Structure 1
């Protein structure tokens, strides 16, 4: 069988394409979220990760090795096959989602580690995604296809949607420290509201997929999400990482760039059914992520003797 070369055109972290919501509102919301996170960071937060890279290495193990293996094992145990099986493997091959950084903040995790891992994961995906997707197509669909990822385009999007807003927030904090510390709580609340908008936009866009496939595919997606939250957090604790780092790796292991999964399935492979797992997971992962964040916030508040409810700061 002749091999087909597939070029992936990655989009930003949104689940709605081709309209005002996807082209303007969601990217702007993500930029504001990343800016607000940058207000709470200093260069020292990142230098610490460089000096002690163990957390990043554990994250790579969880996200790029354990996640695809767990997903594959679940597919085999459940008896799933065909396009839906390929769809879930495509999802497992994607990098962590940008919104994982705000979830990390809400969960009282290590935001600098989350941002660093998001960048590292995007680079590694260039090499790992073609292998995983090609294997899934061959194993579950009997197709022989070669996948190529445009590294320059992906890195450019990461810079625009992640690096630039965070760097701007850090610059504002460095240049006008007192003012930045005053506006940070307000910016965080705005970012939280915008995050809710992103979730609602994902639900509205994928309502048909949720309605038509909830009873059959949603249990698998929810189980995968919760299991990977536990795996990421548990592996970090076994490696004796801090509570904040463990919370971060739990989220980074389970929150995926569902948009990229949709693009691969619908636009590149032109198999709309393969996009259904990504659409479902792209919505349901927020339920698991927010529940995890709420539990971790309560635990962190209890540890310092403060009530869990109230302001974010």
Structure 2
């Protein structure tokens, strides 16, 4: 175990990148250009995701931090989490739960692009007292992530699915499982390496972070059902709003709060929120996937059409 932890500390970014690239390769293999065309004909879906992500959820995070008796630094971390775009985890959970993958990928790209402008505005509105005066988003790194780690592997996966159509499902499963193993490696490395101690801020704090994630999903899914979206699309929209890009959040910690030291409580609180938030998102996402898979199994046994 110690040898793995040493290896993880030296190559943690490689774990992040491998998880992302493998996930996009696997999803691309089962995705077609025609599916993306259908998404672009419904821009209102993307607009709803962006409005919920960058307007409603930051307000909800502020209210939650004020109502619940949690450490103020966790409250600031919660606002940062709410100001982030959706991440690759949303694409993986959508794929595993048989949601609308093109809608998920398109919404992730849109929210990641718009976050270059919107995230600093949201942070300035809701957490300005804890932030440096001249904070700017790391635009080069964010655009690099979109192009090299998101769009290019997706296009490569789509090409594999097109030219090796018969093998695309097997390839997709292998790639997504590889991504999942890399994600597990991240968590083993984070927990074993001491980056996060679950009860560092008491029992209440993990519950509040989990409540934020679950509420974001349930509010969005409930709204989609009220608007009569198909269940697969409602599931996808809920996942997009609740599964945020924790890797980008980690990248912002030093520009926002300076280097991590025992005295830097803001960095410590935000780091805890990003890492535990990522775990809460993963656990909740897998619970949602399991529930959908059980429903699909019941429908197959009853001879009903899967929805």
The answer to whether the superposition gives a TM-score over 0.5 is: yes
Q: Distance in 1 between matches of 2:194 and 2:114?
A: 28
Could you tell me which residue of structure 1 aligns to residue 167 of structure 2? 179
Q: Is 1:277 aligned with 2:273?
A: yes
Structure 1 length-normalised TM? 0.83
After TM superposition, the structure 1 = structure 2 runs for residues 48-197 of structure 1, keeping only pairs within 5 Å, are 48-80=38-70, 82-138=72-128, 141=130, 145-197=133-185
Could you tell me which residue of structure 2 aligns to residue 265 of structure 1? 253
Displacement, 1:17?
11
Q: Distance in 2 between matches of 1:61 and 1:51?
A: 18
Q: Distance in 2 between matches of 1:45 and 1:148?
A: 35
Whether the aligned pair in 1 keeps the contact of 2:196 and 2:275 (CA below 8 Å) is no
Could you tell me which residue of structure 2 aligns to residue 245 of structure 1? 233
Displacement, 1:181?
4.2
For the residue of structure 2 that corresponds to 1:169, the secondary structure is helix
Root mean square deviation of aligned Cα: 2.6
Q: Distance in 1 between matches of 2:288 and 2:175?
A: 23
Q: Distance in 2 between matches of 1:293 and 1:212?
A: 29
Structure 2 length-normalised TM? 0.84
Q: Distance in 2 between matches of 1:129 and 1:123?
A: 10
* Alpha-carbon spacing, 1:251–1:202, altered in 2? closer, same or farther (3 Å): farther
Whether the aligned pair in 2 keeps the contact of 1:45 and 1:112 (CA below 8 Å) is yes
* Alpha-carbon spacing, 1:257–1:186, altered in 2? closer, same or farther (3 Å): closer
Q: What is the number of residues matched between the two proteins? A: 290
Whether the aligned pair in 2 keeps the contact of 1:206 and 1:279 (CA below 8 Å) is no
Q: Is 1:299 aligned with 2:289?
A: no
Identify the match of residue 44 of structure 1 among 5, 26, 34.
34
